[in-house]
Structure 1
Amino acid sequence: MPDRDPARPRFIHYLEAAAARAALGLLRRLPPATASNLGGAVTRIIGPLLPVSRVAERNLRLALPELDATARRRIVRQVWDNLGRTAAEFPHLARLNECEGDECEDNGPGWRVINAHHLRDVAALDRPALFISGHIGNWEVLPPAVARYGMPFASFYRAAANPLVDRLIADMRRDAMKQDVPNFPKGALGARQALRHVAQGGHLGILADQKMNDGIEARFFGLPAMTPSAAAIFALRHDCPIVTGRVRRVGPARFEVIVDQPLFPDASGDRAADVARLTQAINDRLEAAIRAEPGAWLWLHRRWPKHLTP
Structure 2
Amino acid sequence: MSSTTLRSVLHFARYLPLWSALTVFRWRAFDVRSRSLGTTFGLILRWFPPARRRFDREAKRIFPNLKSLQRARLGQEMGRQMGRTLFEIYHDDEFQTQHHKFKVSGPGLKAIADANAVGRGAIVVSGHFGQWEAIRAVLKMNGLESGAVYRPNKNSHYERRVLAGIEAGGKPILATGQVGTRALVRHLRNGGIISILLDEKYAEGVRLPFLGADALTSLSAAQLALKYDLPMIPAYGIRLDDGNTFSVVFEAPIPFTDSATMTRAFNDSLSERILKNPEQWYWLLRRWDDGAKP
**TM bucket normalised to smaller:** 0.7 to 0.9
- Counterpart of 1:167 (choices 160, 163, 168) is 160
* Number of residues of Structure 1 aligned to a counterpart in Structure 2: 286
Tell me what 1:119 maps to: 109
Q: Are 1:286 and 2:270 matched, yes or no?
A: yes
Q: SS at 2:283's partner residue? A: coil
Give me the whole-angstrom Cα distance separating, in 2, the residues matched to 1:225 and 1:309: 9
Task: Tell me the CA shift for residue 112 of structure 1.
Answer: 1.9
Contact in 1 for aligned 2:239/2:247 (Cα 8 Å): yes
Cα deviation 1:59-104 (Å, max 9, x = unaligned): 22222334333332221111111111112333443334222xxxxx
Q: How does 1:251-262 map to 2 (within 5 A)?
A: 251-262=242-253
Contact in 1 for aligned 2:214/2:293 (Cα 8 Å): no
With over 3 angstroms needed to count, the CA separation of the structure-2 counterparts of 1:262 and 1:39, relative to structure 1, is same
Q: How does 1:1-310 map to 2 (within 5 A)?
A: 10-12=8-10, 23-26=21-24, 28-48=26-46, 49-96=48-95, 97-99=98-100, 110-115=101-106, 117-126=107-116, 127-175=120-168, 177=169, 181-250=171-240, 251-266=242-257, 274-308=258-292
Unaligned ranges ≥5, structure 1 = 100-109, 267-273
Give me the whole-angstrom Cα distance separating, in 2, the residues matched to 1:64 and 1:229: 27
The worse-fitting range, judged by mean Cα deviation, of 235-244 and 17-26 is 17-26
Contact in 2 for aligned 1:9/1:164 (Cα 8 Å): no
With over 3 angstroms needed to count, the CA separation of the structure-2 counterparts of 1:40 and 1:232, relative to structure 1, is same
Q: CA RMSD in A?
A: 2.7
Give me the whole-angstrom Cα distance separating, in 2, the residues matched to 1:77 and 1:168: 26
Give me the whole-angstrom Cα distance separating, in 1, the residues matched to 2:268 and 2:28: 39
With over 3 angstroms needed to count, the CA separation of the structure-2 counterparts of 1:43 and 1:8, relative to structure 1, is closer
With over 3 angstroms needed to count, the CA separation of the structure-2 counterparts of 1:113 and 1:8, relative to structure 1, is farther
Unaligned ranges ≥5, structure 2 = none
Q: SS at 1:51's partner residue? A: helix
Q: SS at 1:246's partner residue? A: strand
Task: Tell me the CA shift for residue 276 of structure 1.
Answer: 0.9
Tell me what 1:105 maps to: none
Contact in 2 for aligned 1:239/1:264 (Cα 8 Å): no
Task: Tell me the CA shift for residue 259 of structure 1.
Answer: 1.8
What TM-score results when the alignment is normalised by the length of structure 2? 0.86
With over 3 angstroms needed to count, the CA separation of the structure-2 counterparts of 1:165 and 1:55, relative to structure 1, is closer
Cα deviation 1:32-53 (Å, max 9, x = unaligned): 2211221121111122323133
Give me the whole-angstrom Cα distance separating, in 1, the residues matched to 2:156 and 2:37: 24
Specify the code of the residue in structure 2 equivalent to 1:30. Answer: R
Task: Tell me the CA shift for residue 124 of structure 1.
Answer: 1.6
Q: SS at 1:52's partner residue? A: helix
Contact in 1 for aligned 2:215/2:292 (Cα 8 Å): no
